[in-house]
Amino acid sequence: MITASSAGPAGPPVAVLLSEPEPPQSLLGQPASRFLAGRAVSNCGDWLTTIAVAVALYSLTGSLAAPAVAMVLRVAPRPFGGLAGGHLADRFGPMPTLVILNLGRAAATGLLAVALEARAIPAVLTLLVVSQAGGGAAQPAGQAAVPRLVPAAAVGRLTARIGVIDSLSLVVGPGIATALLGAAGGDWVWLVAADAISFLALAGVLATLPANHSRVPAAPPQRAGMWSGIALILSRPFPRQLALAQFGIFAGITALQAVLPAAAAARFGNPDAIGWVYAGVGAGNVLGGLCLLRTCRRGIGRRAMGTLTLLELLPLAAFALVGPAWVDIALVVMSGVASAPYEILAATQMARMMPAGRLGQASAAVWLFGYAGMLVGGLAAALLADRLGWSGLLLAVCAGGAAVLVAGWRTPRRAIVDATCEARR
- Sorting pLDDT into bands at 50, 70 and 90, what band is 114? very high
Question: What is the DSSP-derived secondary structure letter of residue 235?
Answer: T
Task: Residue 293: count other Cβ atoms within 10 Å of its Cβ.
Answer: 15
Helix, coil or strand: residue 324: coil
pLDDT tens profile 40-67: 888 888 888 877 887 788 778 776 566 6
Residue 175: per-residue pLDDT: 74
Q: What is the largest CA-CA distance in the chain?
A: 64
Query: Which residue ranges form the domains of the chain, and what is each CATH number?
Result: 29-212 (1.20.1250.20), 227-414 (1.20.1250.20)
- Sorting pLDDT into bands at 50, 70 and 90, what band is 99? very high
Specify whether the CB–CB gap between 385 and 263 falls below 8 A.
no
Compute CA 255 distance to the chain's CA centroid, rounded to the nearest angstrom.
17
Which uninterrupted H or E stretch holds 4? strand 2-8
Specify whether the CB–CB gap between 16 and 419 falls below 8 A.
yes
Question: Cα–Cα distances in Å, from 346 out to 151, 156, 217, 304?
Answer: 17, 9, 22, 10
Closest CA to 188 of 353, 13, 57: 57
Neighbouring C-alpha atoms within 13 Å toward the C-beta of 362:
27
Residue 173: per-residue pLDDT: 78
Residue 199: per-residue pLDDT: 92
Residue 212: per-residue pLDDT: 63
Print burial letters for 121-132: b (CB count within 10 Å at least 16), e (below 16): beebbbbbbbbb
Residue 189 corresponds to which amino acid? Answer: V
Separation CA 366–CA 359 (nearest Å): 11
Neighbouring C-alpha atoms within 13 Å toward the C-beta of 328:
23
Residue 110: per-residue pLDDT: 93
This prediction has a pTM of: 0.68
Average pLDDT of the residues of the chain: 76
Q: pLDDT higher for 59 or 396?
A: 396
Torsion on CA atoms 72, 74, 77, 83, rounded to nearest 10: -130
pLDDT tens profile 229-252: 788 888 888 888 888 888 988 888
Separation CA 53–CA 375 (nearest Å): 21
Lowest mean pLDDT among 63-72, 311-320, 381-390: 63-72
Residue 309: per-residue pLDDT: 85
Separation CA 267–CA 424 (nearest Å): 57
Whether pLDDT at 283 is above 50: yes
Helix, coil or strand: residue 13: strand
Q: For every residue of 67-134, which 3-state class applies, written as one string?
A: HHHHHHHHHCCHHHHHHHHHHHHHHHCHHHHHHHHHHHHHHHHHHHHHHHHCCCHHHHHHHHHHHHHH
Helix, coil or strand: residue 9: coil
DSSP string for 384-412: HHHHHHHHHHHHHHHHHHHHHHHHHHTSP
Whether pLDDT at 19 is above 50: no
Residue 424 has φ and ψ, to the nearest 5°, of -85, -5
Q: Which residues contact 192 (CB under 8 A, 6 or more apart)?
A: 48, 49, 52, 53, 109, 112, 113, 116
Whether pLDDT at 17 is above 80: no
- Sorting pLDDT into bands at 50, 70 and 90, what band is 160? confident
Residue 112: per-residue pLDDT: 92
Print burial letters for 327-357: b (CB count within 10 Å at least 16), e (below 16): ebbbbbbbbbbbbbbbbbbbbbbbbbbbbbb
Max avg pLDDT among 137-146, 266-275, 413-422: 137-146
Separation CA 168–CA 278 (nearest Å): 11
Lowest mean pLDDT among 58-62, 120-124, 362-366: 58-62
Q: Which residues contact 72 (CB under 8 A, 6 or more apart)?
A: 378
